[in-house]
Amino acid sequence: MLHNIANALMLGFSSGGSCLGACTPFLLPFLIAKHRDLKGNLYIVLEYLSGRLIAYITAGLFAGIAGVLIGNMKISGKIYGGLTALAGILMLLYSIGIMFEAIEKLNSYMKFFKAAARVPFAAGLINGLNFCPPFMAAFSYTISLKSIAGSLLYFIVFFAATSIYVLPFVFTGLVTKFEKVKNAGRIAGILVSIWFLAYGVYLFLK
């Protein structure tokens, strides 16, 4: 057990930089598009991380069950493509919502876009299922454990170790008092979401 926890910690700490690369494009536009204090930003980061935690628990559970029942399995790249496209759509809704809020027009449509305000949680959930090499390594390893509890614990520890890299994002709020940064964040949010959508569709069709 201790060996598995140490393994998950090592994998999480060593691949945290890579996780940062995957999380930054999702998280940064959310944080700089609107001015919030540290508490507000912490709330967004925690919301994102809670989505990610649920994704990791799901992955751990899935890997555990797969290990017990099947013994081995492969994940199609189409799933990742589909999830990336979905994340792109959610982000686009959120960014448009923020943009409308900033322009203070089209109030009648705001209700629809306000529904997208829970996007950081959804983005965390989808981004948590990012099949990057460290995630795949964790997934393969936990299948080989052939234990649902062991697999769950492994993914929770892996999540904790990688999340440390995400926490400094809370401080991005310090730059959002500048109007220019907020404008840039809104524009970047829309561009990033279009890019994710296109990239996801490309991966799905490939």
Work out whether 28 is an interface residue with other proteins (CB under 8 A): yes
Work out whether 179 is an interface residue with other proteins (CB under 8 A): yes
Work out whether 22 is an interface residue with other proteins (CB under 8 A): yes
Return d(Cα 76, Cα 180) in angstroms, integer: 41
Dihedral class, residue 72 (left if φ above 0, else alpha if ψ from -120 to 50, else beta): beta
Residue at 17: amino acid letter: G
Instruction: Identify the residue among 12, 51, 185, 200 touching other proteins (CB under 8 A).
Output: 185
Work out whether 184 is an interface residue with other proteins (CB under 8 A): yes
Work out whether 186 is an interface residue with other proteins (CB under 8 A): yes
Please report how close the Cβ of residue 111 comes to other proteins at its closest, in angstroms. Answer: 23
Work out whether 204 is an interface residue with other proteins (CB under 8 A): no
Sequence length of the chain is: 206
Return d(Cα 157, Cα 12) in angstroms, integer: 8
Give the distance from CA 178 to its chain's centroid: 26
Work out whether 29 is an interface residue with other proteins (CB under 8 A): yes
Q: Which of 136, 148, 145, 147 is nearest to 61 (CA)?
A: 148
Kindly write out the interface string for residues 72-111 of this chain, putting x where it contacts other proteins by CB under 8 A and - elsewhere. ------------------------------xx--------
Return d(Cα 56, Cα 37) in angstroms, integer: 28
The piece of 5-13, 136-144, 152-160, 180-188 that touches other proteins (CB under 8 A) is 180-188
**∠ CA 73-78-80 to the nearest 5 degrees?**
85
Query: 62 or 135, CB closer to other proteins?
Result: 135
Query: 127 or 142, CB closer to other proteins?
Result: 127
Residue at 33: amino acid letter: A
* Pair 29, 185: CB distance under 8 Å: yes
Work out whether 183 is an interface residue with other proteins (CB under 8 A): yes
* Residues forming the site for other proteins (CB under 8 A): 20-22, 24-25, 28-29, 32, 102-103, 179-181, 183-188, 190-192, 195
